[in-house]
Amino acid sequence: MLYFSTLILSFAAGFVSTQASNPLQKYTISAPGINATFIAYGARLTNLYVNDKNGNPQDVVLGYDDAADYVRNDETVHTYFGPIVGRYANRIKNGTFTVQGVTSHIPENDNMGHDTLHGGKLGYDQRNWTVASANLTSVTFSLLDQAFEGFPGNVITFATYTVSAGPRWTSRLVSIPLDEPTPIMLANHVYWNLGAFVDAAGSTVLNNTLQMPYAARYVEIDNIEVPTGVIGTTKGTFLDFTSPKQIGRDIESAINNCGYNCTGYDNAFILDRPRYSSPESTDLSQLTLSSNSTGIQLDIYTNQQSLQIYTCVNTNGTIPVKRSQQHADKTTFVEKYGCIVIETQQWIDGVNHAEWGQDAYQIYTVDSEPAVVFAQYDFSVLGA
């Protein structure tokens, strides 16, 4: 097994080196009613256009016009606009975990050194991925992770993005450990605004309608957003989105919900699919989001068992929206609640909570199945 893994690692290293390209070059893929642009830096989504209720294409994701600005952002405020985050998305308590008796420590890059966020100081979002394949409707990036940030062992990941009629965007993230047992939990970190800043109501997500029909539970967190180990229920609380509800309806009640002295949503919702489905089934929409400003609706199907919802509580009007989203005479900036991040992933910090039974979905070995994150984003127009 070790010899075979060494062969794979040698092949992967050669594959990556021979496929090197400009990490800031843009790759645009298109299908009827949708077009999306990506760069290899972070395997990152930079633009996604779908038609609104008037038949006009709208860019519904946040980011920058100049790809170099993503690098500058990561060196300063580090917003995580549009990339893959990993090797382990979200937070790890004290940056420490133990797998099969071996303890690993990952640099704590969050909350003044109290936890690890999105894979450490130099996560997958800041890596130059390789373009493995590209055509008119699909692009695939690859990354050879050689024990980055102190994670155990080597892992190779392929990220394939495809657009198709529907319109639909499909993301498939496949990670294969090459030698040592390791936690793997990747996520797309896209900032959405389905209102596309077309009017005042569309400048925030507060008027967006959100439903997560199977999110009756959530992971409780402390005042630095690290899980306490307690699993809470959403029924009757401001966290209840099992029926359609405007995001802004109860948001003022979400005091200290996204950290100390923070009002808003930054929560890991658990997806309890109905019994005629299965824990990793992709047959049912797990989230529906819509904007009256544009009439655009998004439905997400995924094999993951949790959705992290973040309502951009830290954007403060200092970052301008892209030219494609400038609809006013003066420059529009991203204000508080100006977007929403939806991360399809497993339970946050599950690697440190064996009592949750998440190991089968978060710990991978050379003889296990690969780690696969499947997410399908279907777009439509309200009332159509």
Q: Are 376 and 281 in contact (CB under 8 A)?
A: no
Q: Rounded to whole angstroms, how far apart are CA atoms 293 and 198?
A: 7
**Among all chains, which residue has been given the structure tokens 């170099």?**
68
| Catalytic annotation, pick one of 149, 189, 225, 353 | 189
| Catalytic annotation, pick one of 343, 353, 355, 369 | 343
The SS3 assignment for 375 reads strand
Distances (CA, A) of 319 to 80, 220, 227: 13, 31, 30
Amino acid (one-letter) located at 98: T
Q: How would you class 241 by CB atoms within 10 Å of its CB: exposed for 0-12, middle for 13-18, buried for 19 or more?
A: buried
The answer to whether 108 is a known catalytic residue is no
Task: Please name the residue ranges forming H helices in 26-143.
Answer: 68-74
Q: Which two tokens stand for residue 262?
A: 């923070």
Could you please report the per-residue DSSP string of 142-210? Answer: EEEEESGGG-SSEEEEEEEEEEETTTEEEEEEEEEE-SS-EE-B-EE--EE-TTTTSSSGGGSSTT-EE
Residues 6+ apart with CB under 8 A from 187: 84, 85, 86, 89, 90, 308, 343, 344, 345, 373
The answer to whether 327 is a known catalytic residue is no
Residues with active-site annotation: 189, 343
